[in-house]
C-alpha cells in the first residue's frame, strides 16, 4: 500500500514524499481513511509505530477546509508532556508545509504571553498539555466551542500523570458534535470508561500488542549484587564499549538522574540530564544537545521515556528497573526505532528484583543475564570523549542472543483488569507507585494477530529513513 491509496491530498502526499517515507505504517494505513471519513477512533498503538502521522496527516486535510476565529481553536490535541507536544508540533510543521494552517503550542514551563497572543489571533490547531490548557481556560483566554476535532494522545500516560479529571472536564467544554481520536498503548479500565463516555461509535484499531518489545532490540539484564557504586561501575564499563555511540540512561528518581549525571561527568563521560524538575527551556536545550551530538549520553527520568523521537539511539540503559513494567517497553523503545537495531541493558540490584520479575511476566520473555561485566581498561586515542581517567572499555560479552520473535516467545498471561489509581495532579511527580498498586499490575496484555510495527522489520522501514 502507498500513501496515495489513503485518500490524502496532493499537497500532503508531496510533504510526505519530502520526508522520504514511501509506505504508510500499519497504524497509518488503518487509521487515516476512517479519520478522513470523520469517524471517531480508538488507536491502540505505542509510540514508535508512526501513530503521530496517523492523526496529523488526516487532520491537516480536514482542517484545510475552513477558517480559524479569534480565541476559538478549530482542533485540539492533548499531550501528557511538553516534549510530546513539541514533537507533534514538529510533525505539523513537516507535513503541513504546503498548507497554510496556523498552530499554537500551549505547554507549561514557558512564558504564557506568546501563547496567548497566538490564540487571540485564532488557530487551526492547538496542541496542549492539560494543566496549561485548564489554566488558560480558567482565565477566560480560550473558548473551546469551535473545536470540532479532539485528539487525546497517550491516554494511559495521562492516566498515570493524574490528568484524567482534567481531560473529562475539557471534553465537556467542546461541542458534542465533534470528531474524537484517542490513542493509548494500553487500555486500562479508566481509559475504556473515558472512551465510552466521550467517543461516538469509535472504530478500534490495534497495531501492536501493548506489552510486546521490539524484536530489533537485544536485551540484557545486568545482575548487580552490591550498592549503587557497583551499579555505576558496571554502567561505566558497559558505556565504554566501542559500539555505544549514543545512550539514554533511565533512572526511577530525579535525584538519581542528577547524581548519576554528575558522577558520569566526573568520570569524563559526555553526558546530560533531563527530568521533570527542570524548566521547559532547560529540558529543550538539553534534548537539543543530545540530538545534535554535543553529548552522547542522556540521563533521564521517565518523563523522557515516552515518545521522545531521537534518531539513532544505539543503547538504552535502565539504571533502575522501572517500577511499572509497561514503562520498560517504552523506555527500551527509545532504541531500535524505525527498523534499526538497538541494545538495552537493565541493571538489577536487590531493589530491582521484583520489578524485573513483573517486566518478564508482562513481556512473556525471560531476558538473558549478562555473564560478566568487563573491567574498565585504558583508553585509546580512538575513544577520546568517553573518559577523562583514560580507561578503555573492552567488549563485554559474546554476541547477545536476539530476543526471540514474539510468536515463539511465551506470552504473558492476560491479567484481570484492575483499575489504576488515578493519580491526582499533586501526585504527579516521579515517585514510586505504592506497593499495593504495584501488586495490582494493571496492564492488560492484548493479543494482536497482525504483529503491528513491532513485528519483523517490514520493507518500508528499510528505505527512506532519516538516520
# residues contacting ligand AMP (CB under 6 A): 17
Closest distance to ligand AMP from the beta carbon of 174 (Å): 24
Instruction: Name the residue nearer to ligand AMP (CB basis): 48 or 442.
Output: 48
Instruction: Name the residue nearer to ligand AMP (CB basis): 88 or 144.
Output: 88
Spatial CA neighbour of 91 closest among 203, 99, 159: 99
x-marked contacts with ligand AMP along 395-434 as a string, rule CB under 6 A: ----------------------------------------
x-marked contacts with ligand AMP along 51-90 as a string, rule CB under 6 A: xxx-------------------------------------
455 binds ligand AMP (CB under 6 A): no
Closest distance to ligand AMP from the beta carbon of 327 (Å): 17
Closest distance to ligand AMP from the beta carbon of 202 (Å): 20
CB 96 within 8 A of CB 148: no
Of 258-277, binders to ligand AMP (CB under 6 A) are none
Angle between helical axes of 130-138 and 164-173 (0-180°, round to 10): 50
Closest distance to ligand AMP from the beta carbon of 77 (Å): 12
CB 338 within 8 A of CB 49: no
Closest distance to ligand AMP from the beta carbon of 161 (Å): 18
Instruction: Name the residue nearer to ligand AMP (CB basis): 209 or 236.
Output: 209
| Alpha-carbon distance values, 98 to 10, 66, 106, 121 (Å) | 10, 16, 23, 21
Closest distance to ligand AMP from the beta carbon of 370 (Å): 29
Q: Is the dihedral of CA 23, 25, 28, 31 positive or negative?
A: positive
Instruction: Name the residue nearer to ligand AMP (CB basis): 48 or 210.
Output: 48
Closest distance to ligand AMP from the beta carbon of 48 (Å): 5
How many Cβ atoms sit within 10 Å of the Cβ of residue 155?
A: 28
CB 345 within 8 A of CB 370: yes
Instruction: Name the residue nearer to ligand AMP (CB basis): 132 or 337.
Output: 337
Residue with cell 500551549: 106
Instruction: Name the residue nearer to ligand AMP (CB basis): 153 or 430.
Output: 153
Chain centroid to Cα 148, Å, comes to: 26
Spatial CA neighbour of 321 closest among 342, 348, 297: 348
- Which residues of 102-202 form beta strands (DSSP E)? 103-106, 125-128, 149-152, 179-184
Closest distance to ligand AMP from the beta carbon of 385 (Å): 26
Of 318-377, binders to ligand AMP (CB under 6 A) are 337-338
How many Cβ atoms sit within 10 Å of the Cβ of residue 59?
A: 26
Q: What is the helix (H) or strand (E) element at residue 221, kind and residue range?
A: strand 217-223
Instruction: Name the residue nearer to ligand AMP (CB basis): 48 or 455.
Output: 48
x-marked contacts with ligand AMP along 12-51 as a string, rule CB under 6 A: ---------x-xxx--x------------------xxxxx
Strands 75-78 and 149-152, by their bridges, are: parallel
Instruction: Name the residue nearer to ligand AMP (CB basis): 52 or 318.
Output: 52
How many Cβ atoms sit within 10 Å of the Cβ of residue 42?
A: 23
Q: What is the DSSP secondary-structure string of 11-52?
A: HHHHHHHHHT--S--HHHHHHHHHHHTT--EEEE--TTSSHH
Q: Which residue's C-beta sits nearest to ligand AMP?
A: 52
Residues that bind ligand AMP (CB under 6 A): 21, 23-25, 28, 47-53, 309, 337-338, 460-461
Amino acid at each position: 500500500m502507498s500513501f496515495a491509496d489513503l485518500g490524502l491530498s496532493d499537497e500532503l502526499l508531496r510533504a510526505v514524499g519530502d520526508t522520504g517515507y514511501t509506505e504508510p505504517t500499519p497504524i497509518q494505513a488503518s487509521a487515516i481513511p476512517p479519520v478522513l471519513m470523520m469517524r471517531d477512533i480508538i488507536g491502540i498503538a505505542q509510540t514508535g509505530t508512526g501513530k503521530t502521522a496517523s492523526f496529523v496527516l488526516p487532520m491537516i486535510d480536514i482542517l484545510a477546509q475552513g477558517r480559524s476565529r479569534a480565541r476559538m481553536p478549530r482542533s485540539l490535541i492533548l499531550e501528557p508532556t511538553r516534549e510530546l507536544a513539541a514533537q507533534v508540533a514538529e510533525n505539523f510543521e513537516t507535513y503541513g508545509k504546503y498548507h497554510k494552517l496556523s498552530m499554537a503550542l500551549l505547554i507549561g514551563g514557558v512564558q504564557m504571553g506568546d501563547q496567548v497572543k497566538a490564540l487571540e489571533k485564532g488557530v487551526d490547531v492547538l496542541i496542549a498539555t492539560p494543566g496549561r490548557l485548564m489554566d488558560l481556560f480558567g482565565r477566560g483566554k480560550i473558548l473551546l466551542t469551535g473545536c470540532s476535532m479532539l485528539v487525546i494522545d497517550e491516554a494511559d500516560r495521562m492516566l498515570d500523570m493524574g490528568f484524567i479529571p482534567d481531560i473529562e472536564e475539557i471534553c465537556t467544554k467542546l461541542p458534542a458534535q465533534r470528531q474524537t481520536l484517542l490513542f493509548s498503548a494500553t487500555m486500562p479500565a479508566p481509559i475504556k470508561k473515558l472512551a465510552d463516555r466521550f467517543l461516538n461509535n469509535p472504530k478500534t484499531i490495534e497495531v501492536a500488542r501493548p506489552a510486546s518489545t521490539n524484536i530489533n532490540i537485544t536485551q540484557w539484564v545486568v545482575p548487580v549484587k552490591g550498592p549503587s557504586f557497583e551499579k555505576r561501575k558496571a554502567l561505566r564499563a558497559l558505556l565504554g564499549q566501542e559500539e555505544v555511540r549514543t545512550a539514554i540512561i533511565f533512572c526511577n528518581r530525579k535525584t538519581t538522574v542528577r547524581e548519576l549525571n554528575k558522577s558520569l561527568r566526573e568520570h569524563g563521560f559526555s553526558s546530560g540530564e533531563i527530568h521533570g524538575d527542570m524548566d521547559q527551556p532547560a529540558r529543550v536545550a538539553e534534548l537539543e544537545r543530545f540530538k545534535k551530538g554535543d553529548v552522547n549520553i542522556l540521563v533521564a527520568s521517565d518523563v523522557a521515556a515516552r515518545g521522545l523521537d531521537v534518531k539513532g539511539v544505539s543503547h538504552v540503559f535502565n539504571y533502575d528497573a522501572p517500577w511499572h513494567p509497561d514503562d520498560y517497553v517504552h523506555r527500551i523503545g527509545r532504541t531500535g526505532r524505525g527498523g534499526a537495531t538497538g541494545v538495552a541493558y537493565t541493571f538489577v540490584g536487590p531493589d530491582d528484583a521484583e520489578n524485573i520479575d513483573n517486566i518478564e511476566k508482562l513481556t512473556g520473555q525471560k531476558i538473558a543475564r549478562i555473564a560478566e561485566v568487563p573491567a574498565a581498561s585504558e583508553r585509546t586515542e580512538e575513544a577520546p570523549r568517553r573518559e577523562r581517567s583514560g580507561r578503555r572499555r573492552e567488549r563485554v560479552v559474546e554476541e547477545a542472543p536476539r530476543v526471540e520473535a514474539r510468536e515463539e516467545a511465551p506470552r504473558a498471561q492476560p491479567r484481570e483488569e484492575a483499575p489504576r489509581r488515578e493519580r491526582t495532579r499533586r501526585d504527579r511527580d516521579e515517585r514510586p507507585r505504592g506497593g499495593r498498586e504495584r501488586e495490582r499490575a494493571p496492564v492488560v496484555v492484548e493479543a494482536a494477530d497482525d504483529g503491528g510495527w513491532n513485528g519483523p522489520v517490514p520493507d518500508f522501514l528499510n528505505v527512506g529513513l532519516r538516520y
